[in-house]
Amino acid sequence: MANFFIDRPIFAWVLAILLCLTGALAIFSLPVEQYPDLAPPNVRITANYPGASAQTLENTVTQVIEQNMTGLDNLMYMSSQSSGTGQATITLSFIAGTDPDEAVQQVQNQLQSAMRKLPQAVQDQGVTVRKTGDTNILTIAFVSTDGSMDKQDIADYVASNIQDPLSRVNGVGDIDAYGSQYSMRIWLDPAKLNSFQMTAKDVTDAIASQNAQIAVGQLGGTPSVDKQALNATINAQSLLQTPQQFRDITLRVNQDGSEVQLGDVATVEMGAEKYDHLSRFNGNPASGLGVKLASGANEMATAKLVLDRLNELAQYFPHGLEYKIAYETTSFVKASIIDVVKTLLEAIALVFLVMYLFLQNFRATLIPTIAVPVVLMGTFSVLYAFGYSINTLTMFAMVLAIGLLVDDAIVVVENVERIMSEEGLTPREATRKSMGQIQGALVGIAMVLSAVFVPMAFFGGTTGAIYRQFSITIVSAMVLSVLVAMILTPALCATLLKPLRKGEQHGQTGFFGWFNRTFNRNAERYEKSVAKILHRSLRWILIYVLLLGGMVFLFLRLPTSFLPQEDRGMFTTSIQLPSGSTQQQTLKVVEKVENYYFTHEKDNIMSVFSTGRVRPWREWANVARMFVRLKDWDARDPTTGTSFAIIERATKAFSQIKEARIFASSPPAISVWAAPPGLIWNCRITPEQAMDALMAARDQLIELAGKNSSLTRVAPQRSGRQSATAN
């Protein structure tokens, strides 16, 4: 095969150029992310039962839906949450690789059989099914810079004009709103109701009957009388809009003709739909949106589309309203990829310098250097064909492959030059003879290296998902390097290398002459040292055994982790007060924590966004969460300004606040895992056991974990629930 391309160098060049072009096109098509897609597809069912308690919601809605979720293909598990605000959320997780759209269709089909069993109020509200995940890629805060809008005004505008357009962006799985829109608030007076011998149901029935959109009909519609002069649709203002219109709703007409109106038994006013929201940005009232990634969507592409759409909407914001990015994961991913690309370029430059130092011939050095971009571009084509992405692991594989892939081209070039120097053949003839000698060796090198990395592609579970792309990348680069060494490199040797006279050598004078003499002297010393070792082999075998034992000892002593924690430029702070605490008490603790950050960490922190929503389906009055965004890495001290150093100082300071448990923690190493770093234990009870048994088991688990000196910050994730976390 090599002889064919030696005689047809232009054809070899054409193949190399085509490989580079396909790779270049693949680069623009490949998604960019930090790690391969690891998140299992999730489908979330959301149902609302206004006014229902958590227990009622569990019995009448959650369990009914769960019991009908049977026969779903590739379902791993499902979890549910019934909140005291009347919202039920059931999340179904499927095996990684399952088509999210197919999973949604299966869930919808099963849900239809459960709908008729649900309370009528739930059916009226509607039950939603969405493919979503727990990956929060963006948290956007909305603030009024001139104070013209209060927190409720901002929340209403965001919920009415921004939330829905962003939720329709491709790749968005769900939107968490940190605020609520306006609604008509009707505060009933029980004493007045009792005096009129009326109940709350009388009020709701009257509102439902008198606040409805009614189709009145047409004037002059067909069939019509002769000489009908007008045809028009009649509109009636049926939906009430102002507080006064609601106050005028007639609840009852007495026998004497007098009326009991809604305003007689209730206070009616415009207010927030929900008052349990807590949102602050840098200490100022705000509202916010949390953008979650859809299953299978690309993080970088989705974040860009969301920000582009947000910029379009910002043109129509009221005066003084601005948005701020309180939390985002893409900056760290971009920085990571850029660092790897820099490392890749540095590796190419170093490989070129090392090759030139030893080959001591620019033309000979240029040939392996040309092979590098050809092989790398070809590897990108393979990644595109396999449906992979540009991520830190595939890029690291390319960095590692650079030192290996040039070996094949160097072997060809060095052998060609050796033959020209020893036998005085022309470059073309020397290349023919060289390829006949080493063609099998090149294939053997590729097979041996592939045998090392191919098994990684067959790892199971999350480990396999992470390292499969690494394995395929480096094996593809190895195989392509052999092909390039057998196709392009011989053609380059035959056309670029200059003929050498028999016995002629490079580097006889100048710097290279000095380098060669020094290198040869060191090589002679090394040979003498090896000879001495061979005469005392037993002693050195014992030393080797000791080194091997030391390696095993250090391996067992070194701490282990799934992936290293890195400074991602942000972290979160969780606040939890005792159960039963009010939101005002929580707000006071939030202000203390904010004051600490703004006072002691002002040189490192860009913004702090505080919210009471710690889960997408629930806000608790006694908990809060803060998204702390740090300044760029270059703007912070490399030792005291890291996120780990800031978290350590904050943890010590927050231990002095006795009113609440306050934990600052880094985001997970992989953003698709919503859980913070550390360990999570879940307690489970059998159906015949009571909730009290679950709480007792939880408390016992926390007590035992707290006695372990290896664990810190042991606490329940949230009050009254069945989970506990520790680091």
Angle at 622 between CA 621 and CA 628, to 5 degrees: 100
Tokens of 551: 């390696």
Q: For residue 231, what pLDDT is reported?
A: 80
What 3 state SS string does 470-497 have?
HHHHHHHHHHHHHHHHHHHHHHHHHHHC
Task: Please determine, for residue 381, whether its predicted confidence score (pLDDT) is greater than 90.
Answer: yes
Q: What's the rounded mean pLDDT across residues 63-77?
A: 88
Task: Please determine, for residue 714, whether its predicted confidence score (pLDDT) is greater than 80.
Answer: no
| Global pTM value | 0.73
- Looking at the chain, the whole-number percentage of residues with pLDDT higher than 70 is 91
Rounded CA separation 495/279 (Å): 70
Domains in the chain (CATH in brackets) are 2-31+333-504 (1.20.1640.10), 40-132 (3.30.70.1430), 519-553 (no CATH), 570-726 (3.30.70.1430)
Q: For residue 293, what pLDDT is reported?
A: 82
Q: What's the rounded mean pLDDT across residues 50-77?
A: 87
Distances (CA, A) of 618 to 43, 55, 96, 376, 576: 18, 15, 27, 48, 14
Chain segment 251-286, per-residue pLDDT in tens: 998 888 889 999 999 999 988 777 767 888 998 889
8 A C-beta contact, residue 139 and residue 119: no
Q: Which residues pair with 138 in a beta bridge?
A: 291, 328
Chain segment 145-198, per-residue pLDDT in tens: 888 888 889 989 998 899 999 999 998 888 888 888 888 889 999 999 999 889
Chain segment 315-366, per-residue pLDDT in tens: 999 998 999 999 888 888 888 888 888 888 888 888 888 888 887 888 888 8
Give the relative orientation of helices 362-386 and 392-423 as an angle to the nearest 10 degrees: 150
Task: Please determine, for residue 645, whether its predicted confidence score (pLDDT) is greater than 90.
Answer: yes
